[in-house]
A = this chain, B = another copy of it.
Amino acid sequence: MVTLEDVARQAGVSLATASRVLNGSTRQVGASLRAKVELAAAELGYRTNVAAQTLARGASNVIGLVVHDLTDPYFAAIADGAMRVAESQGLMVMIGTTHRDPQREIAYVSTLNAQRVRAVLLVGSRVTDPEMTRRLRTELDQYRESGGRVACVGQNLLGVDTVVPDNRLGAAELARALAGLGHRNFAILAGPDWLIAPRDRVEGFGAALEELGLPAPRVLHGSFDREGGYAAATQVSGVTCVFAVNDVMAVGALASFRDRGIRVPEDVSVAGFDDIFTLRDLVPSLSTVRLPLADMGVRALELALDPSGESRTEIVTGEVILRESTRGLG
């Protein structure tokens, strides 16, 4: 393992000088020494020991990213956005997937704290369990006390900068658009109640329906993924329109209806939420509420990296997009 000292010796300069040329220092170094050091470093194949650097500097160049599930395109898109800004700033990203287990999220924050990452990004819906939220907050507070920065994509429950998709509003507008199509009787394919995002979508949708004087929707719960959508959809009957609280659940619903010989949109309309890019070529194409996923990741990391604020909330509104999976009734 070649160290800075080896380089300094070979170049015939001091450790300090070698450090100054090889690592971004504000201090200037004379051209000839600089050249010598660079040559020596190249010859020896020197690679900075980042651990030593981090220890000496008291600050690392990595950011932590905690997501629920990387194979869910929702998270992949947000992560991609965040990673692009990380890369543009010369930061590495350390990633953890919780598989929707709040405890794991807490554990990751602790680990990332130990890593002394520059910032941590928590991506994904918060949970309703106040105890979990409290413990996570405690962990985050401790991390922040030691100078860590935190941002969240989800709901502002952690006292940190947050990018929050307006789930209630998006769902409400979707409900109004669907009602505008003539639908009166709805079913909602809801996610688990302990996740706030799907719950908000259910509530927003229901509230809008109520405002319009329409019958309350039938709410069917399932897991927040394709299987959950499939399972919940099997219980649907007697409605003209189904709202799945996210696109992957909607895909499950589509499959379920297909298996039951129910045509979409002829027999029943289906709408989702998120506008997952990978699903754009679905047939029938999915009506949904578009969220600027990659952008949310970008903004979240920007917030985390920008020291000039504290617990800022940036609301992102979704855009209703009606495609083939929903049809007008009359």
Contact = CB atoms under 8 A, between A and B. Distances in A.
Interface of A: 1, 45, 47-52, 54-55, 60, 62, 69-71, 73, 76-77, 79-80, 83, 87, 92-97, 110-111, 113-116, 142, 146-147, 226, 248, 251-252, 254-255, 258, 277-279, 281-283
Nearest to A80: B71
Contact of A50 (B47, B71, B116, B258): B116
A297 to B, nearest CB: 11
Contact of A49 (B69, B111, B116): B116
Contacts of A281: 226, 251-252, 254-255, 282
A49 B55 contact: yes
B114 A50 contact: yes
A214 B242 CA distance: 49
A94 B62 contact: yes
Contacts of A62: 94
Given A252-B281, A254-B281, 14 more contacts: A1-B147, A51-B54, A51-B55, A51-B60, A70-B79, A73-B76, A83-B97, A87-B96, A92-B94, A92-B115, A93-B96, A94-B95, A248-B278, A283-B283
B254 A73 contact: no
Copies of this chain, complex-wide, total: 2
A70 B60 contact: no
Q: Tell me which of A50, A54, A113 has the highest count of chain B C-beta atoms within 10 A of its own C-beta.
A: A50
A110 B96 CA distance: 22
Contacts of A71: 73, 76-77, 80, 277-278
A113 B47 contact: yes
Nearest to A147: B1
Contacts of A97: 80, 83, 87
A251 B276 CA distance: 14
A148 to B, nearest CB: 10
Nearest to A143: B47
A114 B52 CA distance: 10
Nearest to A92: B94
A52 B50 contact: no
A73 B70 contact: no
A28 to B, nearest CB: 24
